[in-house]
Structure 1
């Protein structure tokens, strides 16, 4: 198995690892309907952008960065004195985060995690609302990780979309990794699912071409 440009990807390789190669070759998310979306791989490896800053300024520690990738957000929060822990299923992502001064665990968000029901902020950025292809299950799990006064900070798709399907990461020359479940949600879908799960959307904003929302546990009867 090789992961260099033009190489073949073994079926046993975690598909997420394809976007963590050191080369800046383009990587796409190939949807079941044939559409493909270019992944912002370079952004994930660089310092936080102005768009990211709008997320960071809304973070109250302790922060759990779900699907942290190379850890640009959790590392930046630590540098500002805000405790932040990343979690990611890809060992390479966790290694990159820790090598650059961050803290991360190689786990799924659905595994047992430290400080359950005590996190003040949980991040689902860079499309990570799609993890597992089941937004209801993911948000329900994150709600169980949050402190009663905690918040979920979510990045939604720029367009109004609600799609759950099997997808693949596609590298150079059309070579693909194995399929995995994923979801794409716009803000309208986020609002609807949040209401179904007794979350309030307490804030939403646009920065550049990116769209975000903050969710908190609904205060029933108040």
Structure 2
């Protein structure tokens, strides 16, 4: 299986695993339909929805209940029904703000990828769940089974990156995630992130739980919950500019623009680019 490639825009077609082909045209990635890709690396930390039957079953059914459970027993509900539905009015407002080629990190069942694809936009979703990737493709979008911390197509050339539905918590270290997103974006690129609905800044180890039978799937993995104020503080410290912040349908969002130069954002991908907080523990 071939390694994923992030090229320099020489106009060649590059195979990405067994999945979509990235046509390197000018400065922007273009996703061309292909077969689904299997990640050539061990998925970072083996997040439970990469391997768990409860998550796959919930996506097939289009509903929960599913929760993330902290080690102290606190439960965070996962909005499976909303994720499996089409893009709602709040989602559409976010998508209207997207610029150029869009990368949806943690795309889940792919409602946003499918909507952008239907608009004729260049868009790729990534997710560590095989079931989520398959659902996205069935919905008409393109998706790869990858962690955001693994090498990805078009590194340093995406115009917009989305971190929706709590995905700003991926890896349990928002600052590390912001740094990674900055490396994926083109200079001056746009990040749109959905933050927690409360003013919170916490790190925890969690498990995926189906409360109907109390079964916890997989080993605990690091996750973060972060509100708008805390995210903006970390973003400012990391060289991001705040473009906008708003709330719609009780869901808060921020739009940030990367100030990294072309030389710092176009570094070649590293096949071992998995941060320590996502490794199995």
TM-score of the two chains, using structure 2 as the length reference: 0.71
Measure how far apart 1:219 and its partner are.
8.0
Measure how far apart 1:19 and its partner are.
3.0
| Aligned match of 1:176 | 216
| Aligned match of 2:108 | 69
Stretches of structure 2 that go unaligned for 5 or more consecutive residues are 1-45, 262-281
Measure how far apart 1:149 and its partner are.
2.1
Measure how far apart 1:102 and its partner are.
0.7
Indicate if the aligned counterparts of 2:64 and 2:78 stay in contact, CA closer than 8 A. Answer: no
For the residues of structure 2 that align with 1:25 and 1:187, how far apart are their CA atoms?
27
Counterparts in 2 of 1:170 and 1:219: CA distance versus 1, 3 Å: closer
| Aligned match of 1:104 | 143
1:207 aligns with 2:248: yes
Residues 162-212 of structure 1 deviation map (CA, whole Å, 9 limit, x = unaligned):
111100111022211121110000001111110110101110100111100
1:15 aligns with 2:81: no
The one of 144, 152, 159 aligned to 2:183: 144
Indicate if the aligned counterparts of 1:60 and 1:82 stay in contact, CA closer than 8 A. Answer: no
For the residues of structure 2 that align with 1:58 and 1:112, how far apart are their CA atoms?
26
Residues 24-52 of structure 1 deviation map (CA, whole Å, 9 limit, x = unaligned):
23111112332112110001110011111
| Aligned match of 1:31 | 70
For the residues of structure 1 that align with 2:239 and 2:94, how far apart are their CA atoms?
23
Counterparts in 2 of 1:219 and 1:114: CA distance versus 1, 3 Å: closer
Indicate if the aligned counterparts of 1:19 and 1:41 stay in contact, CA closer than 8 A. Answer: no
Measure how far apart 1:14 and its partner are.
5.0
Aligned pairs for 1:181-200 (under 5 A) are 181-200=222-241
Stretches of structure 1 that go unaligned for 5 or more consecutive residues are 1-12
Measure how far apart 1:218 and its partner are.
3.6
Secondary structure in structure 1 of the residue aligned to 2:82: helix
Q: How many residue pairs are counted as aligned between the two chains?
A: 208
| Aligned match of 1:9 | none
Secondary structure in structure 2 of the residue aligned to 1:133: coil
Measure how far apart 1:20 and its partner are.
3.4
For the residues of structure 1 that align with 2:188 and 2:226, how far apart are their CA atoms?
25
1:118 aligns with 2:157: yes
Secondary structure in structure 2 of the residue aligned to 1:116: coil
Secondary structure in structure 1 of the residue aligned to 2:171: helix
| Aligned match of 2:169 | 130
| Aligned match of 2:275 | none
For the residues of structure 1 that align with 2:111 and 2:68, how far apart are their CA atoms?
21
Indicate if the aligned counterparts of 1:45 and 1:70 stay in contact, CA closer than 8 A. Answer: yes
